[in-house]
Amino acid sequence: MSFALPPFTVAPQEAGFTLAKVLRSRLGGPSWTDVRKLIAARRVKVGDAICSDEARRVKEDEVVVLLEHPKPLPRAAHPERLVVRHLDEHVVVVEKPAGVNTVRHPAELEWSEQRRELDPTLQDLAQWAIAHQLNRAPRDLNGLRIVHRLDKETSGLVVFARSVLAERELGLQFRKHTVVRRYLTVVPGILSAQTIRSRLVEDRGDGRRGSTKLTGVGKEAVTHIALEERLPGYTLLSCRLETGRTHQIRIHLSEAGHPVCGDKVYVKRANGEVFDDKSEAPRLALHATELGFEHPATNAHLHWSMPLPGDLQKFVEKLRGKS
């Protein structure tokens, strides 16, 4: 049975109900089985992301889209394709593909293995990849511990702790800002090398995270920006994090008047005007290109770099060709 439904905004009376219930109502009352199959088949988007959780409770003003065809997982979102750069008993470093969440939402932690396979996180993929390399069952391995994360549409290097020691020691290094984290990004216009310092708050006044000028409020955020390459109408930047606040690079660049190409969230100017992104970026043009830290057990300095993945490399080459 085929289903079609125009995109809709969650109404006040629908807020708080499950995605399955709201979708079923909007579709005119098909069977619960058919609705669950639609959601499991990756045909439903909430906001900008595919949602495969039928029990997710929707919020007022969220936009729900029923896709004509299932949206496949990124090709790299498979444990046998995930690139593992380093593995030992304490840490694992992997290359995160864009389009995959780093960790699972708390509401999804009780999902079965079968359900996780329909919409895996990087944490899932890394654990499965480790099990494959070690020829062990995933359930027989210690769970991966989160010490940092990347946004869903950001690609690049990620480390997970595999022991209590590693979680504690890496957490300490992140808090002391000794972990090397460098990103590549593309922004419109010309932006020179600089350091941006601000204090970030959950709500800057328009419902988005952002900087505040109020003293004693928010958390300090420091981003060191270097010029990598000037492109016709755009700039390829290198951004080194001194602190690692949520969406820090995206916020700092947007507030500087140069939002990351492909960003759909931090796109408003100070006067409320929305930036017009004409870059045709394939996704958020942000990539974690460098990662370095001291091994939590041996104190050896470990360092990795990862070039731009194919989609962003093609994007940059396309911009280079503009004149």
pLDDT (0 to 100) of residue 270: 67
* Residues 231, 316 contacting (CB under 8 angstroms): yes
Tens-place pLDDT, residues 200-210: 998 887 778 88
Tokens 């949520």 sit on residue: 246
**Cα pseudo-dihedral 224, 230, 235, 239, rounded to 10:** -20
pLDDT (0 to 100) of residue 114: 65
Integer Cα distance of 174 and 148 in angstroms:
8
107-138 in b/e form (b: 16+ CB < 10 A) is: ebeebeeeebeebbbbbbbbbbbbbeeeeeeb
Tens-place pLDDT, residues 53-97: 888 899 998 999 999 888 776 666 676 789 999 999 999 999 999
The catalytic residue positions are 151
Check residue 255 and give left, alpha or beta (phi > 0: left; psi -120 to 50: alpha). alpha
- SS3 call for 3: coil
pLDDT (0 to 100) of residue 206: 73
The DSSP secondary structure of 58-98, one letter per residue, reads P-TT-EEEE-SS--PPPTT-STTTS-EEEE-SSEEEEEEPT
Number of residues assigned to the chain: 323
Q: Does pTM surpass 0.85?
A: no
Ranges under pLDDT 70 in the chain: 1, 73-77, 79, 107, 109, 111-115, 117, 270, 322-323
pLDDT (0 to 100) of residue 75: 65
- Pairing mode of beta strands 155-161, 286-294: parallel
What the chain holds in terms of domains, given with CATH numbers, is 8-66 (3.10.290.10), 73-176 (3.30.2350.10), 181-287 (3.30.2350.10)
Select from 59, 58, 61 the least CA-distant residue to 39. Answer: 58
